[in-house]
Chains A and B, each alone.
Chain A
Amino acid sequence: MKFLKNIPFIFFIGLCCLLVSSCAKNESTTPEEEGYEPTPLTLEVPRLFEEKISPPIIPGNNPQTVEGVALGKKLFFDPILSADNTLACAGCHAPNEAFTDSRQFSPGIDGINGNRNSMPLFNLAWNYQENFFWDGRASSIENQALQPVVDPVEMHNTWPNAVASLQSDAEYPQLFSEAFGSSNIDSTMVSKAIAQFVRTLISGNSRYDQFLRGEIELTEAESNGLNVYVDETRGDCFHCHGTPPNNLLWTDNDFHNNGLDEIITDLGRGGATGDPREFGAFKTPSLRNLAYTAPYMHDGRFETLEEVIDHYSEGLVYSETIDPLMKAVGEGGVHLSEQDKQDLKAFLLALSDESFINNPDFQKP
């Protein structure tokens, strides 16, 4: 009887224990983590980035690992992902060109051109909005990596076919197993590995970075050019391309119409969102590494930085969605002096990072 009387008490104590234990940390493992563990790898973040800007974005379900990055790098340089085994990612994203290429448009395996200029690849982990491509249509680096493989004007493959090629390869199953704990390859694993490699492409050692670190002085032309860049009455570039000295990305990663066309043919961001207010808006490219990334703009229309600067200075044209930051559009722009143009160019070139394009970690394996 005594025992029976105690049932509510015992029940209550039991409930308390349950509540207490429910607050404890959940330490169970997921099947993926069982057995083999790849080696964690921390991104080599430049000290100034660490101090000045928010940390890079690394998704919780795709941590950086030594094996993942190595696999991603191999995949990036391997034409195996294309339908006819002729074109790798690197075919349009070459290390010595800051991972873009020097052609206006880059033909895919069928020799057909797309309608946009290839984009350089660096510091993409700091694209906090995570909108990739000129129109931002891909929502993560992983998601982006899925697209070129099946793009008909790029690698024109199918995922089942690409995965089958990898699966029957002599090396890849083992490498996938080392990176992800499974040799059963799928497109998600491919995109994760490539994304890990792409996140390691970090550029933070231009002349201007060296100047910020107190290692060198800028030339007179470069520092005049910096003044043109930040001067609202002259360049006023910083409102879109980043405010020096702290915003080391040189882009706002946002979308703007910078006055290239009177009649919009490529809808850009508006094509991706369906919002007519964004017709003709494209992602602001970073100004790092311009020395290696010609031609310029989403359609590669400008061969040289002189042409780019002339555009902002006197070539602006009006269209309905033009950004309000584009000034004196009626006169084509604010008409920079010849001296200011030259200095601005010198400053822009001081943002190029030779050690990035020569980094041995980024070369074809």
Chain B
Amino acid sequence: MKKIVLLVAITATLFACKDVDEDEVINPDYNVSFTFTQNWDGTKLENSDFETTEFTNANGDVLTISKLDYLISNVTFTSETGETIFVEGHNLINSREGLNINYNLDQKIPEGEYTVSFTFGLNSDYNIDGAYPDLTSANWGVPTMLGGGYHYMRLEGTFIDETGANQGYQYHTIHAVDNPGDNPQPEDTSFEVNLGSISVFNDKFIEVEMNVAEWFRNPNQWDLNELNNNLMMNAEAQRMMSENGKSVFSLGPIADILE
């Protein structure tokens, strides 16, 4: 009798707070959190660098950065046996203010070895005009004449142009639209970022580094004098930015989350 009471008491205790799950005790799932950091060829970009630190891009243009906001979505874990865990959702990072630089997945990941990837921007299945109130409210939308949906990135700042004058640039990435106007046909220029292999055997913090210099370098050496604004309506520029973006991200240090 006493044993039964004891058993009932223990079970009641275990189940009282709903987030303890029998399955988990046997087969634990882990919290995975991403931290997004930005650097210029290895020098970390801090708040104090915005608008003040001058960088020189591959083309030799001297520039500053005043805004670097970007969107990532749909983190995917692919196991060694090819099974995928698809964490639907998006995260809009404001690197200057440090907003959303930490992205905690709202889904736990079972222990295992995975290839981890995410989408830079929103792929065309998800880039639906007006579908996300949070992004709309963050004024992240793209006008209807450019096919609607949302920005992927807003990188803005100033550069010293050929005449020696300070000029603004807006390196904005969206889908590519060849024919802005009444009947735009957007072409998806979001891309998959593959972080490589990560083993999840603990709650994990995964750092994702963006090297901003790469946006201006590879494979297309970017000339800010030629391409500094009106890039959203420039489909060719969007394709080039998408190509350059593919070498921008890399996997940084991975750390255990300490309770």
B-binding residues in A (CB < 8 A): 9, 12-13, 16-17, 19-20, 23, 51-54, 126, 128, 227, 230-233, 238-240, 242-247, 249, 252, 254, 277, 318, 321-327, 329-330
- B166 close to A318 (CB less than 8 A): yes
> B170: CB under 8 A from chain A?
yes
User: CA of A17 to CA of B165 in the docked complex: distance in angstroms?
Assistant: 74
Chain A residues closer than 8 Å to B6, beta-carbon distance: 9, 12-13
- A247 close to B169 (CB less than 8 A): no
CB distance from A283 to the nearest CB of B (A): 13
The 7 lowest CB-CB distance pairs between A and B, nearest first, are A324-B168, A243-B141, A230-B143, A246-B130, A16-B9, A252-B139, A54-B137
Chain A residues closer than 8 Å to B2, beta-carbon distance: 9
- A230 close to B145 (CB less than 8 A): yes
Size bracket, chain B contacts: 35 or more
Secondary structure at the B interface, as helix, strand, loop or mixed, is mixed
Give residues of chain B (163-219) contacting chain A, Cβ–Cβ below 8 Å. 165-170
- A245 close to B230 (CB less than 8 A): no
> B258: CB under 8 A from chain A?
no
Instruction: Tell me the total A-B contact number using a CB cutoff of 8 A.
Output: 102
- B137 close to A243 (CB less than 8 A): no
Contact of A16 among B12, B140, B230 (CB under 8 A): B12
Chain B residues closer than 8 Å to A277, beta-carbon distance: 50-52
Give residues of chain B (108-160) contacting chain A, Cβ–Cβ below 8 Å. 129-130, 133-134, 136-137, 139-146, 154, 156-158
User: CA of A16 to CA of B7 in the docked complex: distance in angstroms?
Assistant: 11
Chain A residues closer than 8 Å to B220, beta-carbon distance: none
Contact of A244 among B16, B67, B143, B169 (CB under 8 A): B143
Chain B residues closer than 8 Å to A52, beta-carbon distance: 130, 133, 136
User: CA of A242 to CA of B5 in the docked complex: distance in angstroms?
Assistant: 63
CB distance from A256 to the nearest CB of B (A): 10
CB distance from B55 to the nearest CB of A (A): 15
User: CA of A330 to CA of B228 in the docked complex: distance in angstroms?
Assistant: 15
- A19 close to B13 (CB less than 8 A): yes
Chain A residues closer than 8 Å to B9, beta-carbon distance: 12-13, 16-17
